[in-house]
Structure 1
């Protein structure tokens, strides 16, 4: 089985319980409202074309669609994509979801106003290459939104990640200062925003969590 197939199978297996985490499922009103407020502050006025890479079960995509944005989600896991489609359909929200490598989204020559990635970079074998690719998917003066952090433990699902995950360059996440150093040469401006509001995560967190917002 190829590495991509192993990773896809891991996230397929995680999909049924993925939304149990407060920041994944956004089932709690306070958590949902906290993320909605951030997205409203970070994104241009609707309707913007947004590419949600590593979209998972589509919770952030649903918030974006509710706000009037045109959302395309990409995830390597067919079961995650299936759940994302069902989630938006259940709310009668528009959205396009594709199965594919989030590091090289299968969207052809299409360009977007915003590219959003949340807690994705730690899973990638070559994060700098993915960042270089993502910048090419954003229109001039578009926005790159990266929600990242430096974890006490690798992984966000509560179970061990695939064998060999410890060899991934950013398997324990990345600090804001370090991510900014990688992204800065690719963009015209950037800033980082700490995300220490417990409402965002449904609990108090002690590790570093932040958003990097960049203009291409």
Structure 2
């Protein structure tokens, strides 16, 4: 883990209690959850697939994947987020591994071979996102896929706090990353990649003005 992992984990743990109040985090609104479930279904291979959910937060996407018959493993640096994820999946009757760890360099105990690696709005938090992408692709089975739900929001939403106290390393993709920039980083590493814009306000619980998208890349 990064040398300052404790301070980073504390930063995110401070949001754990209220994290699911955001419509796209908690998926408490049935319409929002259905919208994400439909998208995930379109990006995933046939179930059951082994899916590594990196930066899983409180486990909302992992829960949807489990409900669709997949075998998710969640990794997040924040212990309080992982506690919520475990409770959420256990309450729904699923025995899925949710563990504390560095999502940019997943712990070996999470597994070393997956059909899908999924992350949502994680890359902007990493000091070396391109190295993380290389590591993640190395964990994919032949024909496996990388599903990256990302966006570029800082310039479109200047009122949002983009600070990250306790993080001394520079974050080159702070505020998000444009789809074309992410594709350029991926092209040398994968066989194929496509972008799917995600402007639907149902996914976010509100109308958005910035760039939101998913990249699906194949190893």
TM-score normalised to the size of structure 2? 0.93
**Map 1:48-87 → 2, pairs under 5 A:** 48-87=49-88
Partner secondary structure for residue 101 of structure 1: coil
Partner secondary structure for residue 11 of structure 2: helix
Aligned to 2:135: 133
Q: Conserved in 1, the CA contact under 8 Å of 2:115 and 2:141?
A: yes
Residue 213 of structure 2 is aligned with which of 207, 210, 213? 210
Q: Conserved in 2, the CA contact under 8 Å of 1:19 and 1:25?
A: yes
Residue 181 of structure 2 is aligned with which of 155, 159, 178? 178
C-alpha distance in 2 between matches for 1:4 and 1:115: 22
Q: By how many angstroms is 1:3 displaced?
A: 1.9
Per-residue displacement from partner, 1:10-59 (whole Å, max 9, x unpaired)?
A: 01111010001000000001100000000101100110000000000000
Per-residue displacement from partner, 1:51-84 (whole Å, max 9, x unpaired)?
A: 0000000000000000010010000011111100
In structure 2, the gaps of 5 or more residues are none
C-alpha distance in 1 between matches for 2:112 and 2:171: 29
CA RMSD of aligned residues (A): 2.0
In structure 1, the gaps of 5 or more residues are none
State the number of aligned residues: 215
Q: Conserved in 1, the CA contact under 8 Å of 2:127 and 2:169?
A: no
Which has the higher mean CA deviation after the structures are superposed, 101-110 or 29-38? 101-110
Partner secondary structure for residue 195 of structure 2: strand
Partner secondary structure for residue 27 of structure 1: coil
Aligned to 1:194: 197
> Does 2:152 correspond to 1:145?
no
